[in-house]
Amino acid sequence: MTTGRRAQKMEETRAKLIRTARAAFAEKGYAAASMDELTARAGLTRGALYHHFGDKTGLLRAVIDQIDAEMVAKARAARDRAESPWLGFVAEGVAYIELALEPEIQRIVLLDGPAVLGDPSRWPGQNACLRETTETVQALIEAGIVRPVDAEAAARLINGAALDAALWVAAAAEPRAVLAKAIEAFRCLASGLLAAPPPQPPPGDHVTAIEN
């Protein structure tokens, strides 16, 4: 087998294990999904799992990395649809919180993930998000939209608020009810960074909109 073909085969095996584990973790939860079941469903051996991920915990980490990348992409898409850099900044955080309603994300990333892998704020994916948020805050400061605060400090607080809100929603008995409260509070917290308060529509506009 050539080196290229061997590498392709290894990548296919790795992808198959992640795909199978992702489905099993979403369906049964991390604790209830056995390694024997995972490898049998993937049509592979335990040796393949050990070779690629070390153990079941390593496999969970790989699954979460994949889902986390998808979450980041969805949050960025919400940011890119916004009408201004500031609205995009807030929309990205709100979108992240809203993802806590998705059953797969809720169970694997927000419930099982912290229980097995520890504090999510210390995961590699969160560190990457922190760097990007810091850059975004710095750009907003330079544009005069956000107050001249320390960009990293603001980014840590904003990211921490969004993450904690998502964890709260995921663990709640009534996630949708909690989501509404979490998003309202997140928007209020974020608006405190503004150099000037956001413009409010004239009272007449609100009345007209209701009447129409």
Domain segments of the chain: what residues?
1-54, 69-212
Q: What is the pLDDT of residue 212?
A: 33
Could you give the C-alpha distances from 125 to 67, 122, 128, 167, in angstroms and in order? 10, 8, 5, 16
Judged by phi (left if over 0) then psi (alpha if -120 to 50, else beta), residue 121 lies in alpha
| CATH annotation of 69-212 | 1.10.357.10
| HEC profile of 101-114 | HCHHHHHHHHHHHH
CATH number among 1.10.10, 2.60.40, 1.10.3470, 2.40.160, domain 1-54: 1.10.10
Q: State the pTM of this model.
A: 0.86
> Which residues on adjacent β-strands are paired with residue 194?
146
Contact residues for 90 (Cβ-Cβ < 8 A; gap 6+): 82, 186, 187, 190
In 23-46, which positions are buried (b, 16+ CB within 10 angstroms) versus exposed (e)? Answer: bbbbeeebeebeeeebbebbebee
pLDDT tens per residue, the chain (212 residues)? 566 777 888 888 899 999 999 999 999 999 999 888 888 888 888 888 888 899 999 999 999 999 999 999 999 999 999 999 999 999 999 999 999 999 999 999 999 999 999 999 888 878 888 999 999 999 999 999 999 999 999 999 999 999 999 999 999 999 999 999 999 999 999 999 999 765 555 555 443 333 33
Same fold yes or no, 1-54 and 69-212: no
